[in-house]
A and B are shown apart, each in its own frame.
Chain A
C-alpha cells in the first residue's frame, strides 16, 4: 500500500516537473516559418546561442529585450535562406565567441575542452603511482645471505638440540 502511494507521489512529481519545464520553454513570441525544417533549425539555433544580457540563459529562455531582437534576427535570417553557419558567424562577429554555448576549439579554449580529460589522466596517474608505491612497500623482501644463514642456524639448533 505504502509502495503504491509513494509511486503515485513520484509520478505526480515527475508530471509536475515535465509540465513545468515545457511551460517555461514556450517562447515569448512564436516565429512563423514556411517549412517544418526551418522551424526546427530555429528551435535548435535559439537554444545554442547565449543571451549576452542574462549570460546564463540562451536566446529562447531569456526574456531580455535584446534576446527578443536576436530571436527575430535569427528567424529573419532563416527565412532569407541563410545557413546555420552564416547566422552563427553573424552573431559571433558582433558579440564574440561568448554567444556560443559550445565554444569553438582554438588555442584559447584548449584548457576548457581538454581540462577535464587532463584532470582525469592526472588523477589516474596519481592513483596508479600510489597503488604501485603501496605494493612496493608490502611486497616480501627476499632474505639476504646473512639473514638466511642466521635463520638456518636457528632452525638447525632447534631441530638438533631439542630441549
Chain B
C-alpha cells in the first residue's frame, strides 16, 4: 500500500519504451510500390556514349543493381566507394543519371571512378518519376526477369551491402 505512489512508474517506462521504439523507425523511408513488380520501362541515351541507348530491356537476363545518382548529390559521393566495391565483387550495376548535366556527370566519373556497366541519362527526371525516385541515391535490385526485388533509398552503407544486398544478389543468381 505504501508503494501506491509508484503507480505512474510502469506507465512512464512503457512510454519510454514506446518512444525508444519510435526513434528507431525510419518513417522517412517509404516502401516502394514497385517491389514485386516488373520495372518501369524506359529508353534513354547512354551517358558516356551518346550513340548508344540504354533501355529497360538491357537490364533483363541476369540479376542487376540499378542505381540512381547525380553529380550534385553529396550522398552519392559518400556512397560511391561502396559501388566500386560491388563492381569488384562482380555485381553488374546499371546507373540512372538523374537530373544532371552530362559534363558534370562525366567529370564525377573521371574523378571518382566508374562502377557502372551502362548509364541512362535522365536529364529531365521523367524516368526518375516512373521509378518513384524522390531522394538520390536510390538503389534497386532486379532479378533476371526485370522484377524489382529490393529498393533502398539513401546511401548504401558497407553494412547494408554485406548483410542484405550481396546475400540477396547471390540468392537471385541461384534462382532460375
Q: Which residues of A contact B (CB under 8 A)?
A: 52-53, 55, 65-66, 69-70, 73, 92-96, 98
Contact = CB atoms under 8 A, between A and B. Distances in A.
B129 A69 contact: yes
B1 to A, nearest CB: 20
Nearest to A96: B33
A96 to B, nearest CB: 4
B99 interface: yes
Contacts of B113: none
Interface stretch (B8-16, B24-32, B46-54, B104-112): B24-32
B12 to A, nearest CB: 21
Given A95-B33, A95-B134, A55 B28 contact: yes
Interface residues of B, number: 18
A93 B38 CA distance: 12
Interface in B127-142: 129-135
Contacts of A73: 129
B131 A69 contact: no
A92 B33 contact: yes
A52 B129 contact: no
A17 B131 CA distance: 39
A94 B132 CA distance: 5
Contacts of A96: 30-33, 132
Contacts of A69: 124-125, 129
B125 A95 contact: no
Contact of B130 (A53, A94, A98): A94
25 contacts: A52-B30, A53-B134, A53-B135, A55-B27, A55-B28, A65-B99, A65-B125, A66-B134, A69-B125, A69-B129, A70-B129, A73-B129, A92-B33, A93-B33, A94-B33, A94-B40, A94-B129, A94-B130, A94-B131, A95-B33, A95-B134, A96-B30, A96-B31, A96-B32, A96-B33
Interface string B27-45: 1101111100000100000
Nearest to A55: B28
Nearest to B131: A94
